[in-house]
Structure 1
Amino acid sequence: MKKQNQEIRDLVYVHLNENGQYVISYGVEFVEFALSLPRSLNHLLLLKHKFDDGEVNRHTQLEYVTKDMIRKLAQDNIYGYGDFCWIDFEENEGLDELTGNEIAELLYLGHLKQHLKMPFYNKLGNRYVYLSRDDGWFNKTYYRHMNDFYRMLGQVISIKLADLKLEKTLIGLRKKRSYPPVNLDIILSLSKFMREGTVFSLRNAVQNRNRIEIPIWVIGDFDNMDDMFEEYNQMKTEKCDAKLVFEKRNREWTLVAP
């Protein structure tokens, strides 16, 4: 079984393909993704899944999840599904208008996690295509608008930091702190690194009274996350390529890069 839970929570790998409008990632789970989008998800057409409470669209013979059921889906053991693939859509009528070729394209997406043609359909109004294997272990996500990815990543890093950096209060209880999302301009400035394949290592974050420093390494393009981990374990002893720095006093993020 793949390295689950703790490792997925404290390491984020991103390989950005702007021309293809997709991102290969490790460490971003569905629940974090859904919470971090600039706009909440609408309905989801499920291409590969093991969710028990979906509804069936008769035209496509595929199950879907309504907006009201996404919270329940996010609370399920999605990692345990194996493959978890979906495309969002606006209205049921859009599903009923899909042609046979378009349905075949969607099935191909879910089966091979590759597109036959760019997977954005005006009939569906979809913003995303989410294709994962062992959710959080390997994810390939298409974005109609790449800024959605940059904003999502900045929010995910702050969520993960809050989950990891629990601090003891005076009476010994552990308190969860909140952090603002990493500024969009900082994430955008890191796109040159992410095009090559980049690790954000919260597990190697250094904290003192004034700041938290999250090291960033450029490690290359990986589809196999076991290979990515092997490369990361070799590089983590070397000087990092940049650092995300959170200043506690003014609660602001900065980027330190050579």
Structure 2
Amino acid sequence: MKKDTVNQSVYIHMDSVINNVVTSGITFCDFMNGVGLPPEHILLLKHRFSDVSFNAHTAFDFVETSTLSKLKNQSVHRFDHFCWVDFEEIDLVNQLSPQEIAELLYLAHTGRHLRSPFYYKLQNNFIYLTKEDGWYNKVYYRNMNHFYELLSYVIAKKTTEMLQEKAFFSFIKKRRIVSPPITVLKRLSAHFKEGACIAFLEAEKTRTALKIPIGTDLLEEMHELERSSEPIAYGTIPAVLYYDLKQNEWNLVES
């Protein structure tokens, strides 16, 4: 992988019209552990896994609940392209029309949808598209609250890892970081629509608080992450995520 996503800042570009979010710094493992209503079955549109089942009607492989629990703990970035859509019942997958199958193929190949990416027959909540997991991911969400639940989980996880790393070197007592409220994160939605960075690499810790800048006016487009190993710079810091270490509370301080 180009960069260790454990210490990577999180980049977000949201399209709330068609409910997709492009991210960097969030992995499939994060997704499965943090998203609201995680999938139980996935239809694999592009992949390089061996422990799968085959659906003759669509000519797609699929993964059921028992295998999915193993898959979520793998470093899937090693497998290059990883594109899938969740579904409720395999019997409904067998009812997909040739047109719908073609639309799924087009979506996996180009990363763009022809019609709505949410299919009545599949009852899918997500479409997950990546060439290098954790570095540049595009996910469609039927319900955007699921994304905010994921983001809340990721922020708490990365903050915990960052403080544990500092504690290792300075013998600071390790602490449990609570997840930020979704209501706080939704206040950043306008910035996410333009493209924003949750800059963990630039976080500042004092004795009583942790401050994580929110960077906007990105100096490159998000898709540049696919071609570069360097973080995208930002020009403005309109807000700071503020974590009170004594009260274990999150807040957003806007400039």
Please report the TM-score for the alignment, with normalisation by the length of structure 2. 0.91
**Aligned counterpart for 1:59 among listed residues 53, 57, 60:** 57
For 1:222, give the aligned amino acid.
M
Contact 1:199 1:219 in 2 (8 A): no
Moved more, 175-184 or 60-69: 175-184
Aligned residue in 2 for 1:242: 239
**Aligned counterpart for 2:79 among listed residues 72, 78, 81:** 81
Which structure 1 segments of 5+ residues have no match? Answer: none
In 2, distance between residues paired with 1:169 and 1:10?
A: 19
Structure 1 residue matching 2:117: 3-state secondary structure: coil
Contact 1:163 1:176 in 2 (8 A): no
- Deviation of 1:176 after TM superposition, in Å, equals 5.6
Aligned residue in 2 for 1:5: 4
For 2:242, give the aligned amino acid.
V
Structure 1 residues 133-152: aligned runs within 5 Å: 133-152=131-150
Which structure 2 segments of 5+ residues have no match? Answer: none
Aligned residue in 2 for 1:204: 202
In 2, distance between residues paired with 1:177 and 1:227?
A: 37
For 2:79, give the aligned amino acid.
Y
In 2, distance between residues paired with 1:9 and 1:39?
A: 26
For 2:89, give the aligned amino acid.
E
Aligned residue in 2 for 1:153: 151
Aligned residues: 252
- Deviation of 1:229 after TM superposition, in Å, equals 7.4
For 1:224, give the aligned amino acid.
E
In 2, distance between residues paired with 1:13 and 1:89?
A: 28
**Correspondence 1:255 to 2:247:** no
In 2, distance between residues paired with 1:170 and 1:25?
A: 30
**Relative to structure 1, is the Cα distance of residues 239 and 142 closer, same or farther in structure 2, using a 3 angstrom cutoff?**
closer
**Relative to structure 1, is the Cα distance of residues 171 and 151 closer, same or farther in structure 2, using a 3 angstrom cutoff?**
closer
- Deviation of 1:231 after TM superposition, in Å, equals 7.6
Contact 1:219 1:231 in 2 (8 A): no
Contact 2:11 2:196 in 1 (8 A): yes
Contact 1:204 1:214 in 2 (8 A): yes
In 2, distance between residues paired with 1:153 and 1:202?
A: 13
**Correspondence 1:35 to 2:24:** no
Question: What are the Cα deviations for residues 80-136 of structure 1, in whole angstroms up to 9, with x where unaligned?
Answer: 111111001111111101000001111111111111111101111100000012101
**Relative to structure 1, is the Cα distance of residues 71 and 192 closer, same or farther in structure 2, using a 3 angstrom cutoff?**
same
**Relative to structure 1, is the Cα distance of residues 228 and 187 closer, same or farther in structure 2, using a 3 angstrom cutoff?**
farther
In 2, distance between residues paired with 1:4 and 1:169?
A: 22
Structure 2 residue matching 1:178: 3-state secondary structure: coil
For 1:93, give the aligned amino acid.
D
Using the aligned pairs only, state the percent identity: 33
Structure 1 residues 153-172: aligned runs within 5 Å: 153-166=151-164, 167-168=166-167
In 1, distance between residues paired with 2:247 and 2:185?
A: 19
Aligned residue in 1 for 2:89: 91
- Deviation of 1:177 after TM superposition, in Å, equals 3.8
In 1, distance between residues paired with 2:127 and 2:18?
A: 12
For 1:25, give the aligned amino acid.
T
Aligned residue in 1 for 2:217: 219
**Aligned counterpart for 2:103 among listed residues 102, 105, 108:** 105
Aligned residue in 2 for 1:24: 22
